[in-house]
Amino acid sequence: MQAVAIPPPRIGFEGIPRNWDKKHSKVIARVDPGAFYITSHDEYIFTRLGSCVAACIWDPLLGIGGLNHFLLPERELNEDWHQLTSYSCRYGNLAMEQLINGILTSGGQRHRLKAKIFGGAQMTKTSVLNVGQSNIEFVKNYLALENIPIETEDLGGPWPRKVLFHPNSGKVLLKRMSPERISQMMTEEKVYLKGIVTELEDNQVELFD
């Protein structure tokens, strides 16, 4: 059987895993927490979500778009609420800016952009802070400020999710996973969150004369 030729990704996305999927007869690019991917190829973008949120944004006329995957830091990782707010704003804004600006620099037009948003599961009933809801509120407010209409959303609830996004058409395939998967997702997210805070702390540099 002849191997399927996979077109190269856009410059800057060489580190995103991309493989041919027989079931869908397309290349599927996998976006992990903290990453994003933009394409104009006839391919799917895949991610898996717990408390995290994914924004799928595309220009329907050009068929170019992408998906990001982000999670705002929780209080338990830092007792300084002022510093935590700074982390959340910086990280959430960066995740959205990178995706939107990447689409625009690739030829997309802001007035044509559309969005579909997913994720933000409530991972534990005993948590004082529902980080999933914080992610939901953030992404909705951000898109409203940017005047990007939300065409579809599947948010909240107790379910982790799998998302397949096709930027050429704007089509999304969504699967809600069993709530029993939550414990595994919580462990993965805690490791990821600690990495966010460590990275942001390491990047705080004061300039002086």
pLDDT tens track for 60-99:
999 999 999 988 755 444 444 344 444 444 677 888 999 9
Q: What is the dihedral of CA 20, 22, 26, 27, to 10 degrees?
A: -20
Asked if the structure places residue 109 within a domain, the reply is yes
Query: How many residues are there in the chain?
Result: 209
- β-strand pairing of 114-119 with 150-155: parallel
Dihedral of CA 105/174/87/195: which sign? negative
CB–CB of 60/40 below 8 Å? no
| Six token digits for residue 109 | 């037009």
pLDDT of the residue at 191: 65
pLDDT of the residue at 6: 87
pLDDT of the residue at 186: 67
pLDDT of the residue at 51: 87
Asked if the structure places residue 10 within a domain, the reply is no
Asked if the structure places residue 157 within a domain, the reply is yes
Asked if the structure places residue 151 within a domain, the reply is yes
Asked if the structure places residue 3 within a domain, the reply is no
CB–CB of 168/40 below 8 Å? yes
Asked if the structure places residue 93 within a domain, the reply is yes
Closest C-alpha to 49, from 142, 139, 114: 139
CB–CB of 121/157 below 8 Å? yes
How many structural domains does the chain have?
Answer: 1
| Six token digits for residue 98 | 């990178």
- Tell me the Ramachandran region of residue 159: left when phi exceeds 0, alpha when psi lies from -120 to 50, beta otherwise: beta
CATH number, residue 134: 3.30.1330.200
**4 or 153, which is more confident?**
153
* pTM for the full predicted model: 0.81
Give residue 165's domain range.
23-201
Asked if the structure places residue 67 within a domain, the reply is yes
User: In angstroms, rounded to a whole number, what is the distance separating the alpha carbons of residues 185 and 188?
Assistant: 5
Asked if the structure places residue 2 within a domain, the reply is no
